[in-house]
């Protein structure tokens, strides 16, 4: 108030032009953070233009050209992409407390741990989610053991509906769905029954089910009818047997029908057996692109073919997906799948100020599938800075 009245006093002696300048400085909104001059790409509103983004109180308060006014901190984003914070719906970031801060360095401001744990071991993972710097949520594995190297559903008594429901009830604040891995090596011939049990566990809470497909005993035409609107198929480009493509490389009609009735198809990069370039090439030629991207990330991913979420986004971009759509797959599309992310994946005024600043670099970049196959792209997205709840977070080391 004091400085304002001092300013007012000084007006009296100033010329008209000086008053105008002084007024705008004295009464301009003060921002906590101003992200200046970046290419703002927000698929939630279709905005793709050079803009400033102003942040105060942890929220986006303005997105406009040349925003005037002072800010406690300014980020020069010229030459960079300013996107909503990335949402990774299939990770294993909850396995240890050091996972979430690492993912945050890659632009990931919300993540889901997809079935690392089941009823027996979900409590510590729920604690990691609650203590994470960014929004962390979980899918409970229908197997009480969670993911195991020997295949958690080979002992099928692990698929325990009552225990899974108990785990959801215990952790309603962070558990937002149920996960079932349906590969032959995980569940043998019981894949359909495993999925039925996952649905049974989810039903009283009205939660989605995410299935991991790839080399299952049953074909997709038997699996997909057991999914409801809003359920998710991860690893959509898993190679045969029992892939989304027939022997001639055409998408099965049951797959397009599933998408039509609201089933979400997710990329799920991972490391072993989840995709190869041949599947990506054939499926995208048929026009079948992912609805959402995800990394299947864990704390060791930087040394695998995953590297980071922007690297995974770059793979589909290399195959011709427009950049806006690639960003949508990593932001607003993911937000639409889970009510927990209703206010995320957007730079709209009023939204929590979660922002991923990325750079699209030109060069020669080698991308890996899960079978040591490489493709070379001419562009790659890199994580530059992450803003979480209006604050710039520590950079990647």
Contacts with Zn ion, residue ranges (CB under 5 A)? 296
**Residue sitting closest to Zn ion (CB):** 296
Q: What does each C-alpha distance from 24 to 73, 185, 317 come to in angstroms?
A: 19, 67, 43
Burial of 12 by CB count in 10 Å (0-12 exposed, 13-18 middle, 19+ buried)? exposed
Tokens describing residue 231? 């359920």
> Which is nearer to Zn ion, 39 or 95 (by Cβ)?
95
SS3 state of residue 157: helix
Length of the chain: 397
Give least dist CB 92 to Zn ion, A: 6
> Which is nearer to Zn ion, 194 or 251 (by Cβ)?
194
Tokens describing residue 236? 């959509």
Please tell me the distance from the alpha carbon of residue 264 to that of residue 258, in angstroms, as a whole number. 8
> Which is nearer to Zn ion, 266 or 354 (by Cβ)?
266
> Which is nearer to Zn ion, 52 or 296 (by Cβ)?
296
Give least dist CB 90 to Zn ion, A: 6
> Which is nearer to Zn ion, 88 or 296 (by Cβ)?
296
Please tell me the distance from the alpha carbon of residue 90 to that of residue 86, in angstroms, as a whole number. 12
Tokens describing residue 307? 């590297």
In the sheet that holds 175-181, the strands lie side by side as: 86-91, 108-114, 135-141, 175-181, 209-212, 232-234, 264-265
Give least dist CB 114 to Zn ion, A: 5
Tokens describing residue 393? 């977070």
Tokens describing residue 45? 């509103």
Give least dist CB 288 to Zn ion, A: 21
Please tell me the distance from the alpha carbon of residue 38 to that of residue 327, in angstroms, as a whole number. 15
Strand partners, 360: 381
Give least dist CB 115 to Zn ion, A: 7
> Which is nearer to Zn ion, 113 or 291 (by Cβ)?
113
Asked if residue 87 lies in contact with residue 344, where contact means CB atoms within 8 angstroms, the answer is yes
> Which is nearer to Zn ion, 60 or 114 (by Cβ)?
114
Which residue is it, tokens 């889901």?
112
Give least dist CB 168 to Zn ion, A: 19
Give least dist CB 296 to Zn ion, A: 4
> Which is nearer to Zn ion, 112 or 224 (by Cβ)?
112
Give least dist CB 49 to Zn ion, A: 36
């Amino acid at each position: 108030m004091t400085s304002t009245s001092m300013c007012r006093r000084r007006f009296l002696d100033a010329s008209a032009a000086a008053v105008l300048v002084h007024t705008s400085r004295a009464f301009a909104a003060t921002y906590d953070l101003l992200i200046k001059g970046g290419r703002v790409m927000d698929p939630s509103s279709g905005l793709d233009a050079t803009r400033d983004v102003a942040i105060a109180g942890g929220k986006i308060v303005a997105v406009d050209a040349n925003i005037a006014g002072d800010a406690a901190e300014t980020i020069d984003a010229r030459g960079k992409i300013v996107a909503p914070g990335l949402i990774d719906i299939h990770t294993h970031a909850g396995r240890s407390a050091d996972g979430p801060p690492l993912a945050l360095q890659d632009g990931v401001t919300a993540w889901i741990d997809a079935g690392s744990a089941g009823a027996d071991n979900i409590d510590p993972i729920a604690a990691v989610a609650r203590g994470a710097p960014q929004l962390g949520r979980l899918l409970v594995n229908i197997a009480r053991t969670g993911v195991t190297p020997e295949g958690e559903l080979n002992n099928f008594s692990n698929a325990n509906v009552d225990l899974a429901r108990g785990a959801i009830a215990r952790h309603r604040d962070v558990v937002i769905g149920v996960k079932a891995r349906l590969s032959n090596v995980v569940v043998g011939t019981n894949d359909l029954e495993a999925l039925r049990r996952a649905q049974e566990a989810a039903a009283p809470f009205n939660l989605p089910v995410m299935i991991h497909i790839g080399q299952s005993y049953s074909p997709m035409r038997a699996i997909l009818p057991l999914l409801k609107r809003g359920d998710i198929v991860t690893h959509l480009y898993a190679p045969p047997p029992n892939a989304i493509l027939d022997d001639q490389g055409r998408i099965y009609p049951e797959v397009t029908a599933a998408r039509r009735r609201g089933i979400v198809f997710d990329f799920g990069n991972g490391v072993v057996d989840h995709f190869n370039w041949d599947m990506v090439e054939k499926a995208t030629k048929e026009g079948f692109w992912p609805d959402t991207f995800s990394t299947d990330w864990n704390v060791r991913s930087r040394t695998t073919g995953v590297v980071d979420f922007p690297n995974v986004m770059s793979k589909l971009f290399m195959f011709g997906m427009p950049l806006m759509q690639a960003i949508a797959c990593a932001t607003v599309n993911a937000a639409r799948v889970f009510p927990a992310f209703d206010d995320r994946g957007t730079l709209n005024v009023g939204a929590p100020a979660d922002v991923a600043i990325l750079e699209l670099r030109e060069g020669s970049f080698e991308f890996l599938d899960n079978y040591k196959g490489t493709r070379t792209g001419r562009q790659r997205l890199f994580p530059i800075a992450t803003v979480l709840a209006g604050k710039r977070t520590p950079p990647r080391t």
